[in-house]
């Protein structure tokens, strides 16, 4: 093999690896976003596949620049959805409700935040998640949570403290730039 052939093979292998990384890091969030906009799981899966296919040739550049890979992917996903809805309208087909002419609001930030929050909570132990559920989502006091769970109030406070510290630490790790 020539040097050029080796370089091309290495570049293709690198792009393949970056595509796998991209899928692992972003596919779930892209699917949640597309499904939220389309209200159709199968079409959302098609859109995510198309997004990743379009990203594959640009994978090296996406990961080497300082821009947001997920932001670029979300933008491509949204553009593909808009294109699909416009082409369906031109063919007088319906994609969903009769609100075809209404522009879609860009709520990718809210969808992304929900997906990331869910991922963070899944990393906690079941005991810590349970305490956060009762104290924050159900609005119970430490005493009420303790009675409900059948554990001492001090244990509730301790679990809540350690759960929140763990979440803060993990959020801090995600916000630090990679070197």
The confidence score (pLDDT) of residue 113 equals: 80
For CATH 1.10.10.10, list the domain ranges present in the chain.
123-179
pLDDT tens, residue by residue, 57-114? 776 676 666 567 788 888 889 999 998 888 866 666 655 545 456 676 778 888 888 8
* Gap between the Cα atoms of 102 and 105, Å rounded: 9
Structure tokens at 118: 């869910």
3-class DSSP string for the chain: CCHHHHHHHHHHHHHHHHHHHHHHHHHHHHHHHHHHHHCCHHHHHHHHHHHHHHHHHHHHHHHHCCCCHHHHHHHHHHHHHHHHHHHHHHCCCCCCCCCCCCCCCCCHHHHHHHHHHHHHHHCCCHHHHHHHHHHHHCCCCHHHHHHHHCCCHHHHHHHHHHHHHHHHHHHHHHHCCCC
The confidence score (pLDDT) of residue 111 equals: 81
Range scoring the smallest mean pLDDT among 86-90, 135-139, 159-163: 86-90
The confidence score (pLDDT) of residue 151 equals: 95
Structure tokens at 103: 């522009």
Is 109 or 130 the better-scoring residue by pLDDT? Answer: 130
The confidence score (pLDDT) of residue 173 equals: 74
* Gap between the Cα atoms of 103 and 123, Å rounded: 37
The confidence score (pLDDT) of residue 67 equals: 65
- pLDDT over threshold 90, residue 150: yes
pLDDT tens, residue by residue, 10-61? 566 666 776 677 778 888 989 999 999 888 899 999 999 998 888 877 766 7
Domain 123-179 belongs in CATH node 3.90.245.10: no
- pLDDT over threshold 60, residue 179: no
- pLDDT over threshold 70, residue 1: no
Residue 157 confidence class, pLDDT cut points 50, 70, 90:
very high
The confidence score (pLDDT) of residue 164 equals: 92
Q: Determine contact, residues 96/40, Cβ cutoff 8 Å.
A: yes
Mean pLDDT value across residues 136-140: 88
Q: Determine contact, residues 58/98, Cβ cutoff 8 Å.
A: no
* Gap between the Cα atoms of 19 and 25, Å rounded: 10
């Amino acid at each position: 093999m020539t040097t050029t052939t080796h370089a091309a093979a290495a570049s293709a292998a690198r792009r393949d690896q970056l595509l796998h990384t991209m899928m692992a890091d972003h596919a779930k969030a892209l699917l949640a976003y597309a499904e939220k906009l389309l209200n159709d799981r199968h079409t959302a899966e098609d859109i995510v596949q198309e997004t990743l296919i379009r990203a594959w040739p640009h994978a090296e550049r996406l990961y080497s620049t300082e821009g947001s890979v997920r932001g670029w992917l979300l933008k491509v996903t949204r553009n593909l959805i808009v294109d699909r809805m416009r082409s369906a309208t031109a063919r007088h087909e319906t994609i969903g409700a009769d609100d075809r002419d209404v522009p879609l609001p860009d709520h990718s930030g809210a969808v992304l935040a929900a997906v990331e929050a869910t991922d963070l909570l899944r990393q906690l132990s079941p005991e810590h998640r349970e305490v956060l559920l009762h104290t924050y989502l159900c609005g119970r006091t430490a005493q009420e949570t303790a009675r409900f769970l059948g554990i001492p109030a001090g244990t509730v406070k301790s679990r809540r403290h350690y759960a929140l510290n763990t979440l803060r630490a993990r959020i801090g790790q995600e916000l630090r730039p990679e070197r």
